Amino acid sequence: MNAEFSHRSLHGHPRARRRLFIATTLILVILAVDFLTHGVVRGYVRSAAASLWVFTGSARSSITGTGYFSTRRSLAAENAALRAQLSEYQDRATAYAVVSEENVALRAVLQLAEKEKGITAPIVSSFRASPYGTFLIGAGVDDVSPGALVLTLGRFVVGKVTDVSDSTSLVSAILAPDVVTDARIGTSLVAVTGRGGGNARASVPRGVSVREGDPVTAPAFGGRAIGIVGRVESDPANADQTVYIQLPINVSTLKYIYIVQ
């Protein structure tokens, strides 16, 4: 069996040998004819090759002449220009939104300044950053003094200035966790306990009418509002009802405040 395999490996399959013999014979015949005709066969081959080259060149010219590749290049350039233009429009829209927001804040400041004399200052630290319910404002010793009231542009008291430096001041939030403030809800005087984040809680006798949206004011701050009633929970088994108080604005979005001495 090994001998048979070796024999076939050396000499190949009979059909393969036949094909090789025919191809070799054909090549020899073509060479002989070309020799006897003094190169006529080579001339035909060169002519055929030249015709093929002319045909492929014409095809290339036809494809190029259709503008296919130039059209793709122009479309790519146009897409790039459109993307750049879209990015520019998005930048303009963002800038317009910022300017519109600042204009709204400035109008609120003007309305507030007509009623109370004070200054406007930016908030320079997160309202929620400190666990002690404090934040920094961009007004220093030349502008404010300790004890000044800090109001939102909607005239709600959010804190008092407790420390002043050259260019900034520290504000303690009125509704900071566990800070107790005497306040008035309707006709009732209550103790409001801060819970942080512009929220507080108070207990009101169950017979007192309290509704959502009622203002919560503080006599110690000139009767100014420190929040509104957000929710009321009443249990017939209890003599008091729980009132949840909140600022009517998300304190984390505050950017400017108004300072009243």
* 132 lies in the same domain as 224: yes
pLDDT band at 131 (very low <50, low <70, confident <90, very high): low
Q: Are 60 and 142 part of one and the same domain?
A: no
| 28 and 126 part of one domain | no
Pair (240, 129) in one structural domain: yes
Asked if residue 246 lies in contact with residue 214, where contact means CB atoms within 8 angstroms, the answer is: no
Same domain, 152 and 220: yes
> pLDDT: is 131 or 244 the higher one?
244
Same domain, 51 and 129: no
Number of domains in the chain: 2
* Same domain as 137, residue 215: yes
User: Which tens digit of pLDDT belongs to each residue from 31-41?
Assistant: 665 566 665 65
Quote the longest CA-to-CA distance of the chain. 130
83 lies in some domain: no
Domain annotation covers residue 70: no
Confidence (pLDDT) at 225: 93
- Inter-residue contact 174 to 149 (CB < 8 Å): no
- The residue ranking higher by pLDDT, 50 or 179, is 179
Mean pLDDT of 121-148: 84
Residue 166, pLDDT above cutoff 60: yes
pLDDT over 80 at 98, yes or no: no
The pairing of beta strand 199-205 with beta strand 188-196: antiparallel
Q: Are 207 and 199 in contact (CB under 8 A)?
A: no
Q: What is the pTM of this model?
A: 0.57
Q: How many CB atoms lie within 10 A of CB 43?
A: 12
Contact of 174 with 158, CB cutoff 8 Å: yes
Which strands sit side by side in the sheet containing 157-164, from one edge to the other? Answer: 119-122, 256-260, 149-151, 157-164, 169-173, 134-137
> Is 108 part of any domain?
no
Do 157 and 36 belong together in one domain?
Answer: no
Q: Give the pLDDT confidence score for residue 50 in this predicted structure.
A: 59
Q: Does one domain contain both 55 and 127? A: no
Tokens 């399959």 found at: 13
CATH number at residue 123: 2.40.10.340
Would residue 31 count as lying in a domain? yes
**123 lies in the same domain as 252:** yes
Two structure tokens written together for 133: 């319910």
Segments forming the whole domain that contains residue 229: 118-261
Domain assignment present for residue 101? The answer is no
Say if 195 falls within a structural domain: yes
- 111 belongs to a structural domain: no
pLDDT digits (tens, 9 = 90+) for 184-211: 998 889 999 999 888 999 999 888 889 9
